[in-house]
Structure 1
């Protein structure tokens, strides 16, 4: 591939990585990772509510990695509430899992920014070391993509396995009990997914620029090895 086209591909990959890094930084501070609805089972059972009447006992919550807000309803009107994970919900949430989500999300943002810089360096400069060259780009893209994958897996396990939404809804509620009805991932979670996808795409762009995948032997090298074997 001509050198000019390689520069264009690396510039595109660098811009995509930089945009992803900014997106992840913004996603870290927003309460738009998860939206859930929950039913006040205590109130619904007391009045034997069914059908449209259940709307009076259905609340919702949306939250991120640091804070969130929602509305509780138990037949007596809406009760808005706000919360923060640190320090309000520490007794209720799986702290180790949540901290790991924060850790890997921070690593994802930092490494994605480094990847963007390395792509730009390869586009406009003359890399002379392994870490600055294609192998370094493959390695950093793989590590960054792995961090993004871990963020999604850990957050999903916190929500689904540890029932995070239900614990938030029932936190400091001594009288009423709430049960989660529906959950869906929102904007910030999908930003992390897009960042993971961009790192996968970056690997394809590096290959498209004409650089072999790591540990993949070229045909010329294989031919040379075969010829050397025949000589001996």
Structure 2
């Protein structure tokens, strides 16, 4: 591929990486990772609520990696309540998984920026070492994509397997018991998925620029020719 087209592809990949870094940084700071509704089972059982009456006992919850908000509905109107994970909820949540999610988000942002720098370096500079050249670009893209996948896997397990929403809803509750009524991942979670897909796309752009994948085995015609020459 001609050099100008390679520069365009590398610049495009660098721009994608920069957008991903900004998106991931914005996603980490928001509380739009999970949205759902919580049912006050104690209040609903006391009045034997059903049908339209049950809506008076369904509140809302949304949270991110650091803070969130829930609206407590027990038949007497909504009561909003703000909460933060550090240090309030550390005793009731799987802290190791939650900290790992934050750690991998940080690694994702850092390596995305590193990848952006090396894409631009390959576009306008003269790379001379392995990690500065195409192999390095594959490496940064692979690490960033893997971090994004790990973030989604760990956070999904924290929410679904460890019932994070219910634990938050029942935090400091002594009279009423809450149960998750509905739950879905919100915008910030899908931003991380989009970042992972973009890093995979960057790897395809590197291949489109004419560079083989690191573990591919090109045909070594020189060895076969040399062996044939020794026979004569």
Normalised to the residue count of structure 2, the TM-score between the two structures is 0.96
Matches within 5 A, 1:1-232: 1-219=1-219, 221=220, 223-230=221-228, 231=230
Q: Map Cα deviations across residues 49-81 of structure 1 (whole Å, 9 max, x no partner).
A: 111111100011110000001201011111110
The separation in 1 between residues aligned to 2:137 and 2:185, in whole angstroms, is: 30
Normalised to the residue count of structure 1, the TM-score between the two structures is 0.96
The separation in 1 between residues aligned to 2:61 and 2:226, in whole angstroms, is: 68
How far 1:188 sits from its partner (Å)? Answer: 0.8
The separation in 1 between residues aligned to 2:35 and 2:65, in whole angstroms, is: 13
Q: Secondary structure at the match of 1:225?
A: helix
Q: Secondary structure at the match of 1:131?
A: helix
The separation in 1 between residues aligned to 2:176 and 2:139, in whole angstroms, is: 51
The separation in 2 between residues aligned to 1:62 and 1:110, in whole angstroms, is: 27
How far 1:225 sits from its partner (Å)? Answer: 3.3
The separation in 2 between residues aligned to 1:40 and 1:225, in whole angstroms, is: 74
The separation in 2 between residues aligned to 1:14 and 1:5, in whole angstroms, is: 14
What is the aligned-residue RMSD (CA, Å)? 1.1
> Structure 1 stretches of 5 or more lacking a match?
none
> Structure 2 stretches of 5 or more lacking a match?
none
How far 1:194 sits from its partner (Å)? Answer: 0.8
List structure 1 runs of 4+ shifted beyond 2 angstroms.
223-232
Q: Secondary structure at the match of 1:210?
A: coil
Q: Map Cα deviations across residues 21-49 of structure 1 (whole Å, 9 max, x no partner).
A: 01111111110111011111111111111
Aligned length: 230
Q: Secondary structure at the match of 1:76?
A: coil
The separation in 1 between residues aligned to 2:223 and 2:186, in whole angstroms, is: 53
Q: Secondary structure at the match of 1:59?
A: strand
Q: Map Cα deviations across residues 169-201 of structure 1 (whole Å, 9 max, x no partner).
A: 010011111110111111111111111001100
The separation in 2 between residues aligned to 1:35 and 1:137, in whole angstroms, is: 36
How far 1:90 sits from its partner (Å)? Answer: 1.0
The separation in 2 between residues aligned to 1:90 and 1:217, in whole angstroms, is: 49
